[in-house]
Amino acid sequence: MKGTGETVEFRESASIPFDRGDAFLHNADVWLKSKQGQCVAAIAVDLNYFLLYNSVHGWSAGNRLLMLLSDSIGALAKGHGGLAGYLGDDDFCLFIDMAGTDQDSLKEEVQRSLDRDFKTPGFSPAYGVYIANYRGESASKLYESALEALSSVRGRYTEHISVMDEERLSQIQQAKRLARNLGEALEEHEFIFDLQPCIDYSTQRVFSAEALIRWKKDGHIVGPGIFLKPLEKNGHIYALDHYLWEEVFKMQKDILGRGRKPVPVSVNLSQMDFYFGDIAGQFIGLSEKYGLDSSLIKIEIPERICVDAFPYVYEFITRVREKGFSIIIDDFGRGRFSDSFIQDLKVDTVKLDRAFIEHVNDDNESRSIIIDALAMAERLNIRAMAKGVETKEQERVLSELGCRYMQGFRYFRLMLVEEFMAMKA
């Protein structure tokens, strides 16, 4: 943490009217003592790409930007009976009383100040907000929690505010511990998967499902949005993905063992998977190990990975397709690929990015992308599926556009394995 109060020489002329470094944190500790048991917010603020701003616009302009930010932060602190401080470089911190304020209204207030004072999104400040009932923690400790929130928006161009409460912080800290102790969590069977069926709208029948990983920790279910990114950063996502693949093979084998015919189930790949092992060989090996027809497993690869790791993806698809596995391109539509690209990959299904489905009723561009994808699928004799269908109106528009295959809460929420297996009984 930067907190000594030193400033780089070219910023000395920025007359920031706040206590600095350790002096500020000491005053914040005194302020916090009067807030025992009350809801407070620690806010870490950082100017995005500030060194670049100084390089482009000059140090004097950089000092003016710091002053503009200090005015904005000072007003926020004053308006909520709090205090603000400067921690050096382009780092600020403030503590405010949350009495009479909720998360949404605080975000709206900060966003209004951003819209008013900072016209260039790339150089706008990023705010990390940690909200908690104060229980005697030091100002430094609360600031570290605010930095955790800040890390999720620092450097972004379109999102500048992240709000985190105690529960969210606990989940993130658990995810980081998980990243360090994945092997133990796998051995303890803390990971489970749910299934979301996909329907053929023309028959209203389930024709496949998607397996989605969850973390069962201390009796609570933690969604992938919490733990996947830390695992992707350290490469451990590969071990988790392999674990899920094998669990799905086991489930399909179990269904067959009960004398029923399972529908195909899809599993997801991460980009790291292509760099850590022979994943084609692993899928083929799992099929042989469980004596399972490969057509009962579908493999989803996000569109972005098809671009970023194309040589690896192409080789993988070529090998598994020869063995009967089906391939789905997930989050499809942002790349606007040509027919020849999809033909070269030899995919069976494109699954449209949920962002387009969300706005199909009111956004002409989203609707145009969906129409183009459906037309392409018809030309190539492959499936186009809409995922994230949640409302009757979305369903109506999609069906009118000719979309036959759909997935989303409109039809099924996530189902436990046993619920899914019972449904197919």
Each residue's pLDDT tens digit, 345-387: 889 999 999 999 999 988 889 999 999 999 999 999 999 999 9
Q: Same domain, yes or no, for 286 and 406?
A: yes
Among 142, 171, 200, give the residue marking a domain's end.
171
Q: How confident is the model at residue 181 (pLDDT cuts 50, 70, 90)?
A: low
Indicate if 225 and 262 belong to the same structural domain: yes
CB 154, CB 127: distance < 8 Å:
no
Helices (H) and strands (E) in the chain, counts: 18, 15
How many domains in the chain? 2
Give 12's pLDDT tier (boundaries 50, 70, 90): very low
Whether 194 and 242 map to the same domain: the answer is: yes
The CATH number linked to 164 is 3.30.70.270
pTM: 0.65
Q: Answer yes or no: do 371 and 414 share one domain.
A: yes
Q: Say if residue 329 is in the same domain as residue 236.
A: yes
User: 360 and 250, same structural domain?
Assistant: yes
The residue among 171, 203, 220 that closes a domain is 171
User: Do 161 and 205 have their domain in common?
Assistant: no
Residues 41 and 130 in one domain: yes
Tallying the residues shown for the chain, one arrives at 425
* Same domain for 151 and 89: yes
pLDDT category, 425, cuts 50, 70, 90?
very low
For residue range 211-240, what is the model confidence (pLDDT) as tens digits?
A: 999 988 777 887 887 788 777 876 778 889
The CATH number assigned to the domain holding 350 equals 3.20.20.450
- State pLDDT tens for residues 103-162: 999 999 999 999 898 877 678 899 999 999 999 999 999 999 999 999 888 887 778 899
Do 240 and 316 share a domain, yes or no? yes
- Distance CA(131)–CA(164), nearest Å, equals 6
Looking at the fold, whether 136 and 218 belong to one and the same domain comes out as no
Q: Six-digit token pair at 47?
A: 């100017």
DSSP 8-state code for residue 415 = B
pLDDT at residue 422 greater than cutoff 50? yes
Structural domain containing residue 87: 9-171
Question: Do 128 and 209 share a domain, yes or no?
Answer: no
Could you read off the pLDDT of 50-95 as tens digits, one per residue? 888 888 888 888 888 999 999 999 999 999 999 999 998 899 999 9
Q: Is residue 376 part of a domain?
A: yes
